[in-house]
């Protein structure tokens, strides 16, 4: 039996209606390429769900992983620790906003946010302060666990569970047109003193279709949150590690978060790992002689040593001049292509933040995630050797930073043809 048939028999894929699903078996990864059983190569233009910033099977990461495996692969992280967990926490806190000094480990973005919400709610609870409401942006996406879904926009994805989700208040994403009214309604919501935290994807709402807002506008909201003692949770699961042009999107915003969540590119997409990092003030809210005030949360794979070692290797690479210049080159190519697309009559909006390029196409079909245009585009690019996962009618170009100009121009060329053929 072929790999595809065996897959069909035994495997259930994420975000996929399995009836009629066409699944492509991949047997190798090499730099920006994925290779199927017949040896056909595909450019991974989506960095395998925005994680593979250094491409596939990076040799340096491979060596580090092998060395770590020889020393120590995994230990229970309650009561024990290991060098790479300590090194990673140390290195990350020195790069994250100054006030962020403590790292709590987990293993995926949704869980990192789940932990952030629990941390924020318990922080107030431990002090006997009644603050239990949460605010998020309209159209937000913070994950697929119940807490993550609860603070995300309600959608078809969460509909079957709607009565089990907790209430969240939403504010529109700020823009030049609505800034004053959004600030006003945000202030009204937080002024009552019931709001524990505001969770936001800084600068770019990924799953919504790379909807962007300015750092100044977000800053205005964060200043209001701070004025009313509302904890600010920056969900940097997608924006972290260079994607937005700075190491973290929060680096571009004056007001700093109290909690930051990271995953995806944290290990350059090699191992599952996430962190929820917080200020000393939050940490101190749990530090007590009373054991019930501890943060009683954990997972079997918390602080996995292989994953932590790979995340340290990722930081080594990100600190190198080669990767910095790769990223600069990618950003500059994306900028040129965005400018080229701006006047295109078939393009509703071409937007960019750092290395993220989103091309929203005009469509007479349904816009949004279920747009048929998205499925057609997926097939079109797949046939031409490109893995792209459009978000509905929005094409997303987010390749590994190491992509060379020739491969990137091939992707752009195919996008031009797709748009022309529309
Ligand atoms: C901003 C943001 N938060 C959370 C998540 C969930 O992360 P994970 O898929 O690792 O659970 C995602 C995934 O796309 C994301 O983009």
The DSSP-derived string for 306-367 is HHHHHHHHHHHHHHSHHHHHHHHHHHHHHHHHHHHHTT-TTEEEEEEETTEEEEEEP-SS--
Domain boundaries, the chain: 3-57+323-421, 72-318
Domain 72-318 has CATH 3.40.640.10: yes
Question: 171 alpha carbon to ligand 1 midpoint, in Å?
Answer: 20
- For 360-385, the pLDDT digits (tens) are 999 876 666 667 899 999 999 999 99
pLDDT string in tens for the chain (422-residue length): 999 999 999 999 999 999 999 999 999 999 999 999 999 999 999 999 999 999 999 999 999 999 999 999 999 999 999 999 999 999 999 999 999 999 999 999 999 999 999 999 999 999 999 999 999 999 999 999 999 999 999 999 999 999 999 999 999 999 999 999 999 999 999 999 999 999 999 999 999 999 999 999 999 999 999 999 999 999 999 999 999 999 999 999 999 999 999 999 999 999 999 999 999 999 999 999 999 999 999 999 999 999 999 999 999 999 999 999 999 999 999 999 999 999 999 999 999 999 999 999 998 766 666 678 999 999 999 999 999 999 999 999 999 999 999 999 999 999 999 999 98
Pocket lining: 201 vs ligand 1, CB cutoff 6 Å:
yes
Mutate to test the pocket of ligand 1, among 14, 109, 257 (most ligand atoms within 8 A of CB): 109
Question: 158 alpha carbon to ligand 1 midpoint, in Å?
Answer: 15
Residue nearest (by alpha carbon) to ligand 1 atom 7 = 109
Pocket lining: 257 vs ligand 1, CB cutoff 6 Å:
no
- Cα diameter, the chain: 68
CA 136 to CA 139: how far, in whole Å? 9
* Per-residue CA distances from 235 to 77, 93, 95, 244, 401 (Å): 24, 16, 16, 13, 21
Residue nearest (by alpha carbon) to ligand 1 atom 16 = 238
Question: 230 alpha carbon to ligand 1 midpoint, in Å?
Answer: 23
CA 404 to CA 333: how far, in whole Å? 10
Pocket lining: 209 vs ligand 1, CB cutoff 6 Å:
no
CATH number of 3-57+323-421: 3.90.1150.10
Contact 177, 102 (CB under 8 A): no
CA 17 to CA 39: how far, in whole Å? 27
pTM: 0.97
Question: 362 alpha carbon to ligand 1 midpoint, in Å?
Answer: 27
Atom of ligand 1 nearest to the CA of 201: 1
Helical segments of 96-135, H only: 109-126
75, burial (CB in 10 Å: exposed 0-12, middle 13-18, buried 19+): middle
Question: 206 alpha carbon to ligand 1 midpoint, in Å?
Answer: 9
């Amino acid at each position: 039996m072929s790999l595809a048939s065996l897959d069909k028999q035994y495997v259930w894929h994420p975000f996929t209606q399995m009836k009629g699903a066409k699944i492509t078996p991949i047997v190798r990864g090499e730099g920006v390429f994925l290779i199927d059983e017949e040896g056909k190569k595909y450019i991974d233009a989506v960095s395998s769900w925005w994680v593979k910033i250094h491409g596939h099977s990076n040799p340096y990461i491979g060596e580090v992983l092998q060395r770590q495996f020889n020393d120590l692969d995994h230990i229970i992280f309650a009561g024990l620790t290991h060098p790479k967990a300590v090194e990673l926490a140390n290195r990350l806190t020195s790069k994250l906003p100054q006030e962020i000094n403590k790292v709590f480990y987990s293993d995926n973005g949704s869980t990192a946010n789940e932990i952030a919400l629990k941390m924020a709610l318990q922080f107030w609870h431990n002090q006997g302060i009644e603050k239990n409401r949460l605010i998020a942006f309209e159209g937000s996406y913070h994950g697929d666990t119940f807490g993550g879904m609860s603070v995300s926009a309600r959608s078809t994805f969460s509909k079957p569970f709607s009565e089990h989700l907790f209430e969240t208040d939403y504010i529109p994403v700020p823009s030049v047109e609505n800034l004053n009214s959004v600030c006003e309604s945000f202030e009204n919501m937080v002024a009552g003193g019931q709001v524990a935290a505001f969770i936001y994807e800084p600068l770019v709402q990924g799953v919504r279709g790379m909807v962007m807002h300015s750092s100044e506008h977000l800053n205005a909201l964060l200043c209001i949150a701070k004025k009313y003692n509302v904890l600010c949770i920056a969900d940097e699961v997608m924006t972290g590690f260079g994607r937005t042009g700075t190491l973290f999107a929060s680096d571009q915003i004056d007001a700093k978060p109290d909690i930051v969540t990271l995953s995806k590119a944290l290990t350059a997409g090699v191992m599952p790992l996430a962190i929820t990092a917080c200020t000393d003030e939050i940490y101190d809210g749990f530090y007590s002689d009373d054991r019930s005030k501890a943060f009683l949360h954990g997972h079997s794979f918390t602080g996995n040593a292989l994953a932590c070692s790979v995340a340290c290797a990722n930081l080594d690479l990100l600190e190198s001049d080669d990767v910095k210049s790769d990223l600069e080159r990618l950003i500059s190519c994306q900028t040129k292509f965005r400018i080229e697309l701006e006047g295109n009559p078939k393009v509703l909006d071409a937007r960019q933040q750092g290395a993220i390029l989103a091309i929203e196409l005009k469509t007479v079909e349904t816009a949004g995630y279920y747009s048929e245009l998205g499925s057609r585009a997926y097939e079109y690019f797949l046939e031409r050797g490109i893995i792209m996962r459009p978000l509905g009618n929005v094409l997303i170009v987010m390749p590994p930073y190491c992509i060379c100009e020739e491969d990137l121009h091939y992707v752009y060329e195919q996008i031009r043809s797709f748009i022309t053929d529309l």
